[in-house]
Structure 1
Amino acid sequence: MLSQKDPPVDRGQATAIIVFILGLGSLLPWNFFVTASLYFNECLNVTQNSTQGGQPEDYSFNSWMTFLSMLPLLLFTLLNSFLYQWVRERIRVVVSMVAILLLFSLTAALVRVQMDPDTFFSITMGTIWFINAFSAVLQGSLFGLVGLLPPRYSTLFMSGQGLAGIFAALAMLFSVLGNADIRTAALGYFITPCVAMSAVLACYTLLSHLEFARFYLNRDETVNQPFEKMPVESLDKEFLKKSKDPESQVLQDLKQPETQQQRSSVFAVFKKIWVMAACVTCIFAVTLSVFPVITVQVKTVYRGSAGWEKVFTCVCCFIVFNSLDLVGRSVPSLVQWPSKESRLFPVVVFSRMLFIPLLMVCNIPDSRLAVLLPHDGAFVLVMVLFAFSNGYLASLCMAYAPQLVRSRDCETAGALMTFFLALGLSLGASISFLLGSLV
């Protein structure tokens, strides 16, 4: 039953913290594999040298890893967008988390197994495919869940996703700086997400026991109760005055006739959010077209410093990107510009395509293109703007979309936005093959 009092308070910000952690867990699989591309490439080179007499073979690992991460993400996100009504959200989330945990455990166990390069490459790509398939279902389900909460929780979820990249990058940095051999360092690296995913699963289980979360997540049961049994006059009058506050959307739904409380079709929801869907597609298509395929090829100009050369890619590519991406995802909780109605918003989003040529003319050895930005500082500056705009604009898109539909359609909007996010990632991964061949 709907309480006659205001919605419960998020005591100790427990729901906010859990949503943040769920965001972190939803992108851990992708970030741990993309950051480990240095390890996988080195393993392939070492294995080739030991089994093929040093004859090099171009596996195009970074491009294939990106493509085989994004393709299942797109396919299974699409599946999740239309079939989520037939499988309970709790089942989808728990099964996905357990599967990801098992796949990470398998990856960690295989670190010590000696394999020929073709077998190593095939098993790694197979693991990447399946882990991202489950990750797609997990992300789509969690975005739909978060869409039922007040808008600021979408921003917190996106911020958690940004932290996942930093988490993975720092884990890789410590592995690189350690004196252990590559396989021992990799074993420790891949055990880390196993522990992290176990903690994320525990947090998700705890969420259903929080009064604040239950109030919003169980709203369907609330609004399905006979309207005449819950007269509006019995509700707190002061709270009803806050009708412009997105958090009062539940009460607005209660005042609607029962015929207006049914969920809209997927197409009807899409017509309301198509601008945000197009924007989030563009944002991630631009990002994945050059990150990490192009950015990992940029080298420092200080080639004499062995220590800096060793950590340059990890620090200037992965840590800088993920740190500023996290900052960008967090800023919308303070400032939201342009507004969701502004025609300037799509213009700002599509202007990010300028980052593609800028990153391609950084210091990439043996590049077919002219190196116009050779200094480390220029590369870092471009990466800062590139990463911040990615996090900021993506977070705005994901927060704006549920605000454009009725609260009953928030879960559908969240699932659709996750599909278009995955579509952008897949397009970017496909474009990365072309851009990689140009440099």
Structure 2
Amino acid sequence: MNETLGRGYARIEAIRAARGEPLAAMADPGAPPPDRYNSVYFTLFVAGAAFLLPFNSFIMAVDYFQHEFPDTTIMFDMSTVYIASACVAVVTNNLLLDLFTYNTRITFGILVSLATMLFVAVCNIGWDGFSMRVSYTINLVAIGVVAFGCTVQQASYYGFTGCLPPRYTQAVMAGESAAGFWVSLDRIVTKYSFRQPHSSTFMFFVFSILILLGHSMLHHVMMRHPLVQHYLKLTNESRHRKRIQLHLNPNEDVTLMESEVGESSYGVLKLQSPALSTTAETENKAFSFANPLYSPTAAAPVSPPCVSEPSACPSALLTPRPSYKVEDVVFDTPERPTSWRAFKCGVLARWAVARAIYPYMVSIGLVYFTTLSLYPGIASEVPSCRLGSWMPIILMSAFNLFDFIGKIAAAWPYEWSRSQLLMASGVRLLLVPLMLLCAAPRHSPHIVGDIYPIMFSIVLGFSNGLFGSVPMIMAPSRVGREHREIAGNMMTLSYNGGLLSGSLVSYLLLSMLGAPAGAPCRVYPTPQLPTIPPITTTTSNHTFFTVSH
């Protein structure tokens, strides 16, 4: 009994019946509206591509930035600034979760990303009127601002799709990989079509901006879709559960009688009218807790005087009295402010969700820690005498293509266990030394050849797509519907923690490469097959040569 009184909410079950509304209005929602032509899925796929498109656009312009800022750590600096700003955005989004709607947060992120991309494309790349130092700083500031806007979108979308069926979370993650695949193709086409680095990079950014504009329009259409409205309504009702709080002071002597019909955790609260109160009822403080058979649709009993003389009854008694099915009772503690209580409840809810999904949080953090340790920093430093400036573009394109394939493979109906996900995330750490040996030391890498780093990049991309998607898809289903948005945001927080730690480790790996390569590029010719020297046989008049192959 004390445990029941100590929890915290009371659910309204019959308020619509008390208002005289038809019983059909109280029916549980039926099947969700169909997603005709997969329009919601497609929009979320485009959304996943759109909020990672700015970051991928900066990274895939690696040849332009290395040409403009030679002998600098521009790729490492942009990656670290992006991830640091993204972590700030994730924390901010979690704190402001209940103050702004999905639509407000996502629209804010879209506008910030669009404005920054336009400024960089027009002023810093197209016009190119700044000095090298100022341009370097502008790029870092721009990618930090883009990171904030894009991550607000990303965290909001993952919280949003956590309220939808799991296939829609997979759509967002597949769209993230599609962003990398799209910018890879876009960069190859623009670099091949425009010989001037400024012209090709400017057109490259223009195409990315057009995708962002299309995403903005699709998003606002999707938010009005009946399927989306259906699941958002379910989530809001699960979160609030049509509940009211019964604020009872600790000195009030009330009892919640246990059920005698098999529902020991519920009672029925009936509010008695003061007009009919007798002396005995007044002594009971007008609150009556009882638990006979709970029936929300049953009419309230009418007292005998009202049956004989209806005109003697107050008009308020001509409508059914509300009955409330009680789950929990709240004790009012006036000395504690409501705002602090709400903050404390939010922290406790996030802690409870983190305890429920921590294996998935650790798994996705390890996956992105490994990825950011190598991509894009170390991948952009792998040398190739044969491919030249195309080598980093090919490595990143291979990563993005197989990352896309891996995220599609994540939709395969296989139930991954928590131990399998953790083991797979740990095994991926072996890729760090393997890829590092393809670039270190700069003057003579230990692993020679173009095919090996491409193979490692393919494995890195596919495993990133698969094991970076499965935990994000599975985690929201491990908590109640009312906590799924929190689960999505907690997973995004862990995801960004892995990104930040991986980008910081990439600086340590960079120091292992040695000084920038000023020596001429080494060519590794195919060695000749070993041969056996000829055997000479001498006779008295002739010398014979026997050659062995």
TM-score range, shorter chain: 0.7 to 0.9
Query: What does the per-residue CA deviation read over 1:372-414, in whole Å, with 9 as the maximum and x for residues that have no partner?
Result: 4322222222111111111100100101110111011000000
AA partner of residue 367 (structure 1): R
- 2:12 pairs with 1:12: no
**Contact 2:117–2:205, Cα closer than 8 Å, also in 1:** yes
2:28 and 2:216 map into 1 onto residues whose CA distance is 30
Give the alignment's TM-score, normalised by structure 2.
0.68
Query: What does the per-residue CA deviation read over 1:250-301, in whole Å, with 9 as the maximum and x for residues that have no partner?
Result: xxxxxx98669x9871111111111111111111111001111111111335
- 2:207 pairs with 1:129: no
1:157 and 1:397 map into 2 onto residues whose CA distance is 14
Q: CA deviation at 1:217?
A: 2.1
Alignment correspondent of 2:369: 285
1:106 and 1:182 map into 2 onto residues whose CA distance is 18
1:229 and 1:352 map into 2 onto residues whose CA distance is 58
Q: CA deviation at 1:226?
A: 4.6
Alignment correspondent of 1:166: 181
What 5-or-longer segments of structure 1 have no aligned partner? 46-57, 232-255
CA RMSD of aligned residues (A): 2.4
- Among 398, 401, 414, which residue is 1:323 paired with? 401
- 2:81 pairs with 1:68: yes
AA partner of residue 44 (structure 1): F
Q: Map of 1:242-321 to 2, 5 A cutoff?
A: 265-300=349-384, 303=386, 308-315=387-394, 317-321=395-399
What SS does the corresponding residue of 1:333 show, helix, strand or coil?
A: coil
**Contact 2:170–2:407, Cα closer than 8 Å, also in 1:** yes
Give the greater-gyration-radius structure (CA): 2
- Among 454, 476, 481, which residue is 1:380 paired with? 454
2:46 and 2:104 map into 1 onto residues whose CA distance is 19
More strand by share: 2
What SS does the corresponding residue of 1:265 show, helix, strand or coil?
A: helix
Distance 1:116 1:336, change over 3 A: same
Q: CA deviation at 1:87?
A: 1.6
2:295 and 2:119 map into 1 onto residues whose CA distance is 54
1:209 and 1:293 map into 2 onto residues whose CA distance is 41
Distance 1:114 1:4, change over 3 A: closer
Alignment correspondent of 1:400: 474
| Matched length | 392
Give the alignment's TM-score, normalised by structure 1.
0.84
2:295 and 2:233 map into 1 onto residues whose CA distance is 18
Query: What does the per-residue CA deviation read over 1:302-327, in whole Å, with 9 as the maximum and x for residues that have no partner?
Result: x2xxxx43433212x11110010011
Q: CA deviation at 1:418?
A: 0.7
2:229 and 2:93 map into 1 onto residues whose CA distance is 23
- 2:94 pairs with 1:81: yes
1:168 and 1:344 map into 2 onto residues whose CA distance is 32
2:509 and 2:499 map into 1 onto residues whose CA distance is 15
- 2:63 pairs with 1:38: yes
1:61 and 1:24 map into 2 onto residues whose CA distance is 24
* Higher RCO (C-alpha 8 Å, min separation 6): 1
Single out whichever of 163-172 and 213-222 deviates more from structure 2.
Answer: 213-222
Distance 1:406 1:229, change over 3 A: farther
- 2:442 pairs with 1:367: yes
**Contact 1:176–1:311, Cα closer than 8 Å, also in 2:** no
Distance 1:137 1:257, change over 3 A: farther
AA partner of residue 320 (structure 1): A
What SS does the corresponding residue of 2:388 show, helix, strand or coil?
A: helix
1:104 and 1:65 map into 2 onto residues whose CA distance is 15
Single out whichever of 108-117 and 411-420 deviates more from structure 2.
Answer: 108-117
Q: CA deviation at 1:59?
A: 2.7
Alignment correspondent of 1:29: 54
Alignment correspondent of 2:192: 177
Single out whichever of 4-13 and 409-418 deviates more from structure 2.
Answer: 4-13
Distance 1:39 1:86, change over 3 A: same
1:311 and 1:426 map into 2 onto residues whose CA distance is 27
What SS does the corresponding residue of 1:78 show, helix, strand or coil?
A: helix
More helix by share: 1
Q: CA deviation at 1:366?
A: 4.9
1:230 and 1:222 map into 2 onto residues whose CA distance is 18
Q: CA deviation at 1:212?
A: 1.4
1:82 and 1:60 map into 2 onto residues whose CA distance is 33
What SS does the corresponding residue of 2:168 show, helix, strand or coil?
A: helix
Q: CA deviation at 1:345?
A: 2.1
Q: CA deviation at 1:329?
A: 0.8
Q: CA deviation at 1:4?
A: 5.2
Q: Map of 1:122-161 to 2, 5 A cutoff?
A: 122-161=137-176
AA partner of residue 153 (structure 2): L
- Among 332, 340, 359, which residue is 2:410 paired with? 332
What SS does the corresponding residue of 1:209 show, helix, strand or coil?
A: coil
Query: What does the per-residue CA deviation read over 1:322-363, in whole Å, with 9 as the maximum and x for residues that have no partner?
Result: 010011111121143533xx423211111111000000111x
Q: CA deviation at 1:189?
A: 1.0
Distance 1:176 1:372, change over 3 A: same
AA partner of residue 357 (structure 1): P
Single out whichever of 388-397 and 263-272 deviates more from structure 2.
Answer: 263-272
